[in-house]
């Protein structure tokens, strides 16, 4: 197989075999977006639960490896694996509380950042370093900072909703791209097939313009006689 045929084989595989990966990934992403909009609190805990499962599995793997190998203080490795398993179970069991605490910390950091930025803007306006038009920006930053602190729970739900909408758009786009790739692969398959047999096709009028591709005659545009 020549280099050109290898390249055509790769292109054929990409266009005709990988389209379904985009579709499956798009469906999963779309489903996560719907779940986030329907139940934002449960959706927010999914990453923490997955982290807990990962820590638990890693602890189990460490224990099995230490028991099988039994080298260099393997007892301590077993103990460490047991501790890691306990941490994984605790993270999974307390996923809601951990998620709530993380969202609260993130929202408070954003709120205090807005408050500090607004106060700094007001100080620069009063000192004459900024124009009075910047006063509105500083006041808005302070108002939004106070609102984030006062409405922490609602803000956390809003974050999950925004993430869910993003997942919906991303999932729909991936599904659309996957089917477009499938359609393009079907249209280009006769032209990128590596099993091309050189030859000519004879028209009914006796002319010989064409190529034989996988046993099928691919007719080429007829040349006009001048």
pTM score of the predicted model: 0.57
Tell me, yes or no, whether 86 and 182 share the same domain: yes
Same domain, 202 and 125: no
DSSP assignment letter at 147: H
> Per-residue pLDDT for 133 more than 80?
no
Angle between the N-to-C axes of helices 152-192 and 40-69, in degrees from 0 to 180, rounded to the nearest 10: 70
Indicate if 221 and 188 belong to the same structural domain. Answer: no
Nearest Cα neighbor of 165 from 17, 33, 75 is 33
pLDDT at residue 87 in the model: 92
Between 128 and 136, the more confident residue is: 136
Q: Number of folded domains in the chain?
A: 2
Please check the confidence at residue 96 and state whether its pLDDT lies above 70: yes
Q: Which long-range contacts (CB under 8 A, 24 or more apart) does 34-39 make?
A: 34/164, 34/168, 35/164, 36/160, 36/161, 36/163, 36/164, 36/167, 37/161, 37/164, 37/165, 37/168
- Examine the pLDDT at 166 and tell me if it is beyond 50: yes
Range of the domain at 23: 3-194
Same domain, 187 and 200: no
State pLDDT tens for residues 8-28: 666 666 666 677 788 888 898
Do 172 and 70 have their domain in common? yes
On average, the pLDDT of the chain sits at 76
Asked if 131 and 211 sit in the same domain, the reply is no
140-160 pLDDT per residue, tens: 888 888 888 888 877 788 888
Mean pLDDT along residues 78-83: 89
Work out the pLDDT band at 98, boundaries 50, 70, 90.
confident
Q: Are residues 126 and 220 in the same domain?
A: no
137 plus 190 within the same structural domain: yes
Are 168 and 206 members of one domain? no
150 and 120 fall within a common domain: yes
Say yes or no: 158 and 83 in one domain. Answer: yes
- Asked whether residue 132 falls in the same domain as residue 218, the answer is no
């Amino acid at each position: 197989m020549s280099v050109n045929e290898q390249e055509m084989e790769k292109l054929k595989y990409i266009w005709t075999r990988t389209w379904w990966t985009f579709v499956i990934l798009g469906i999963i992403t779309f489903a996560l977006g719907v779940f986030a909009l329907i139940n934002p609190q449960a959706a927010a805990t999914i990453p923490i639960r997955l982290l807990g499962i990962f820590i638990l599995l890693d602890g189990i793997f460490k224990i099995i490896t230490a028991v099988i190998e039994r080298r260099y203080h393997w007892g301590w490795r077993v103990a460490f694996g047991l501790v890691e398993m306990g941490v994984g179970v605790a993270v999974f069991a307390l996923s809601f509380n951990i998620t709530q605490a993380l969202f609260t910390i993130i929202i408070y950091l954003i709120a205090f950042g807005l408050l500090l930025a607004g106060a700094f803007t007001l100080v620069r306006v009063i000192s004459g370093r900024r124009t009075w038009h910047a006063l509105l920006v500083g006041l808005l930053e302070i108002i939004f900072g106070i609102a984030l602190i006062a409405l922490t729970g609602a803000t956390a739900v809003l974050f999950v909703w925004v993430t869910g909408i993003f997942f919906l758009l991303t999932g729909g786009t991936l599904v659309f791209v996957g089917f477009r790739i499938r359609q393009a692969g079907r249209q280009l398959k006769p032209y990128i097939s590596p099993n091309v047999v050189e030859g000519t096709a004879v028209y009914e009028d006796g002319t010989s313009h064409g190529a034989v591709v996988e046993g099928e005659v691919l007719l080429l545009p007829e040349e006009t006689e001048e």
